[in-house]
Amino acid sequence: MISQTSEYALRAVIHLAHYSGSARTTQQIADATRVPSGYLSKVLQALARAGLVRSQRGLGGGFTLARNEAEVTMLDVIRAVDQPLERINACPLGLVTHTELCPLHRKLDEAVEWVEASFGSTMIADLLGKGEVEPLCDASTEKDVTLRVTRNKSE
């Protein structure tokens, strides 16, 4: 439904929201969200160009959210790194007899409209895992990764 790039961007933004106020390095974000760091760098650059994240150079630098997580939607993040969801406005087959969408294409367009509305009404703050299931980028994820690496080195 969404591209890998969009999912990576969402993971990164949720991670930054989880650590609101603290700058996180590309490597910290990559480790916590399980996104390849080289690819993540490009995603973070696109998010910065869109004004969703801010980067700070130097000691203690890294990335932070540029806006409050209660003001950023999933759709904002997706649009920052990907093409907008494509609506179906005319017959994709180019049939001249179809002056309006056939039932199949109308249903597909309704699905795209629903997804866009859902992503547009879901704030990043809603995705921070304050319920019984913690998000992928929960702080314990980093500890678990560190523990696995430490165990593997000692074995």
Report yes or no on whether pTM surpasses 0.85: no
> What pLDDT is attached to residue 135?
56
- Which tokens is 121 given? 């009404």
Give me the residue spans of the domains in the chain. Answer: 4-86+124-146
Considering the four listed CATH numbers 2.30.30.180, 1.25.40.10, 1.10.10.10, 3.40.190.10, the one that applies to the domain covering 4-86+124-146 is: 1.10.10.10
Distance set, CA 25 to CA 79, 94, 107, 119 (Å): 23, 49, 43, 27
What's the rounded mean pLDDT across residues 7-18? 94
pLDDT digits (tens, 9 = 90+) for 23-80: 999 999 999 999 999 999 999 999 999 999 999 887 778 999 999 999 999 999 999 9
The residue whose two tokens read 């009404």 is: 121
Is pLDDT of 103 > 70? Answer: yes
d(CA 81, CA 149): 31
Which tops the pLDDT comparison, 86 or 10?
A: 10
106-151 pLDDT, tens digit each: 898 999 999 999 999 999 999 987 654 555 644 444 444 443 343 3
Alpha helices in 19-155 (DSSP H): 26-33, 37-49, 74-81, 103-121, 139-154
Residue 7 is encoded by which pair of tokens? 């999912």
